[in-house]
Amino acid sequence: MCTNNNYDYIIIGAGCAGLSLAYRLVNTKYKVCILESNEIINKKNKLWSFWDTYKTPFNHLVKKKWTELLIKNNYKEIKINCDNYTYQSIDSHDFNNYILDKIKKSNNIEIKFSSKVENIKKIKNKISLLVGKNTFTCNHIFDSRPNIKKIFMRQQFFGAYVLSEENIFNVNRPMFMDFSNKLDKFHFNYVLPFSENFALIESTYFSSKKEKEMLDLNYIDEYMNINYKGKKYTIEKTEFGSIPMDTNINSMSEKYITKIGSFSGATRASTGYTFINIQKQSDDLVKLLPNISSMKTKKNFHPLVLRKMDDIFLNIVSENPNYMKNALMNLFDSKSHESQIRFLSDTPSILDIFKIIFYLPKIEFLKYSFGFGGKNGK
């Protein structure tokens, strides 16, 4: 264990990105310190869900896997086959505890809570960080802190873990998107069943501003009353969150500071999926050590074609949410599910991208492609 405040690497923030990177540095030759501004790791558990398109060291933490998903509106229901890319979930509480235990047992990593970084400056060949009355030094910093004040749109959600007295959930078929509502905004319900009587039900919406009335149990109760009328249930716990969705978040870093996590652009702007991208990012960064300060990091996490398509998606959602709901229904009805999953998971082939474009609304796609609408793209 390190005995002074001089390290090879300092990680700012003990969220998913900071802990994922730290895990890969456990028991290596590098002295590492994690500086976390909070007194403890966030107690607000969240469920991170993703398709199995990239192998991570956390497969044993997966809470549940599914090979089918459903998407529906008021008129039809579509089954999405994901046999080859199972949809799965990890509980943030399990993830945090697992990595914190590894760090505790390691001989090279420290984590310091209640340690807010107030200033960073370069001194000769070292980086100096001021934390309260203490000074820390290192060769390179990995920084997960937010650094953007204005976000084009946010994916905001309120979820409840519902325990029913009867077996009412189809444990093999989560409801990926249920657009069966009359709200004039991009809103859907999301149901992940962990057993026949226990499920996470989330009310999710995309908006450029916070709408507190949407973060309410009333939407969960309404969904239960419509879909499981008369069934008795209790709410075991709740979760909520807000995911930044903007293609102008980039990973441009300074020579001795590398951005990581959502505010490095790891969050996919059109979907909010982040967990797998953070794992990819962590694997890539470790490969650059110990010469990372002399390496030129890429400006954008996602390739141009995906950023452009995400721009189009977000602009249509912003200006015509009902149009985009119908477009997504048509897209998933095309049966090219593996192409769609790879596209949503940031691993599409050129053929996958052409398939997606083929099923998108042509007039709207062309309109936003050539800059005749929308505010997000640059």
Architecture of domain 9-44+92-146+249-294: 3-Layer(bba) Sandwich (3.50)
Long-range contacts of 73-82 (CB under 8 A, 24+ apart): 73/178, 73/179, 73/180, 73/325, 73/326, 73/329, 74/179, 74/180, 76/329, 76/333, 78/329, 78/332, 78/333, 79/173, 80/176, 80/332, 80/337, 80/340, 80/341, 81/337, 82/51, 82/337, 82/341
Contacts of 152 (CB under 8 A, 6+ apart): 208, 245, 246, 247, 248, 314, 318, 375, 376
* Residue 188 pLDDT exceeds 80: yes
Mean pLDDT, range 226-244, rounded to an integer: 92
Residue ranges of alpha helices (H) inside 106-258 are 217-227
Contacts of 223 (CB under 8 A, 6+ apart): 178, 189, 201, 203
Tell me the pairing of strands 119-123 and 109-112. Answer: unpaired
Mean pLDDT, range 346-354, rounded to an integer: 93
Q: Which residue matches tokens 């991170």?
A: 48
**What is the spatial distance between Cα 231 and Cα 263, in angstroms, rounded to a whole number?**
42
Average pLDDT score, the chain: 89
Q: Looking at residue 20, what is its pLDDT?
A: 98
Which of 137, 133, 96 has its CA nearest to residue 120? 137
Q: How confident is the model at residue 368 (pLDDT cuts 50, 70, 90)?
A: low
* 122-180: pLDDT as tens digits: 988 899 999 999 999 999 999 999 876 678 888 889 999 999 999 999 999 999 999 99
Q: Where are the domains of the chain?
A: 9-44+92-146+249-294, 153-245, 304-369
Q: Looking at residue 215, what is its pLDDT?
A: 62
Contacts of 24 (CB under 8 A, 6+ apart): 282, 283, 286
**What is the spatial distance between Cα 352 and Cα 35, in angstroms, rounded to a whole number?**
41
Q: How confident is the model at residue 378 (pLDDT cuts 50, 70, 90)?
A: very low
* 277-332: pLDDT as tens digits: 999 999 999 999 988 877 666 666 778 889 889 988 898 888 888 888 988 998 99
Q: How confident is the model at residue 267 (pLDDT cuts 50, 70, 90)?
A: very high
Angle at the Cα of 149 from the Cα atoms of 147 and 151, rounded to 5 degrees? 105
Cβ 288 vs Cβ 29: under 8 Å: no
Which of 261, 235, 208, 308 has its CA nearest to residue 48? 261
Question: What pTM, to 2 d.p., does this model score?
Answer: 0.91
* Residue 108 pLDDT exceeds 80: yes
Q: Check residue 308 and give left, alpha or beta (phi > 0: left; psi -120 to 50: alpha).
A: alpha
216 vs 93, which has greater pLDDT?
A: 93
Q: Looking at residue 234, what is its pLDDT?
A: 96
Q: Looking at residue 93, what is its pLDDT?
A: 94
Type of residue at 103: I
* 22-57: pLDDT as tens digits: 999 999 999 999 999 998 876 678 899 999 999 999
Mean pLDDT, range 358-364, rounded to an integer: 75
Contacts of 376 (CB under 8 A, 6+ apart): 152, 153, 246, 247, 248, 311, 314, 315, 318
Q: Looking at residue 297, what is its pLDDT?
A: 64
Q: How confident is the model at residue 1 (pLDDT cuts 50, 70, 90)?
A: very low
**What is the spatial distance between Cα 308 and Cα 306, in angstroms, rounded to a whole number?**
5
Mean pLDDT, range 261-286, rounded to an integer: 93
200 vs 372, which has greater pLDDT?
A: 200
Q: Looking at residue 252, what is its pLDDT?
A: 59
| CATH topology for the 153-245 domain | Alpha-Beta Plaits (3.30.70)
